[in-house]
Amino acid sequence: MDYRKLNEVTTLYVFPLPRFDNSLDLELLQNLAMVFNRFHQAGLQLKPTMCHLVRKEITYLGIAISDYGVVADPKKVDAVRAFPVPTDWKHLSSF
């Protein structure tokens, strides 16, 4: 399988291949069709419920990625802030 064309339309070393565009244009749809065709040629199947296309922001592995940048997922930050403070040596050592 020749991945050169796929690499031209995706970001290097990024999984799950996020791409952010200001508008939904013909080039984006063509590139998306090319990526889907490559998956099909390789015999790979995508689960539609796991595919989120044309989104302004995605959360992946505790990181929120958007066109504004990369930040920690606010839900994860709140969970760490709400974690109880250790009160004795046993709780501190298990932390």
pLDDT in tens, 39-59: 889 998 888 888 877 778 888
Nearest to 18 by CA among 5, 29, 9: 9
Same-domain status, 37 and 78: no
The helix or strand, by DSSP H or E, that contains position 33, with its residue range, turns out to be helix 26-41
Question: Bridge partners of 71?
Answer: 64
Same-domain status, 21 and 41: yes
Same-domain status, 46 and 83: no
Secondary structure letter of residue 48 according to DSSP: G
Domain count, the chain: 2
pLDDT in tens, 1-38: 454 555 566 655 555 555 444 445 677 778 888 888 99
CA dist., res. 29 & res. 84, Å (int): 48
pTM above 0.85, yes or no: no
**Cis geometry, peptide bond prior to residue 48 (ω within 30 degrees of 0):** no
Contact 70, 18 (CB under 8 A): no
Same-domain status, 65 and 39: no
**Residue 20, domain extent:** 1-51
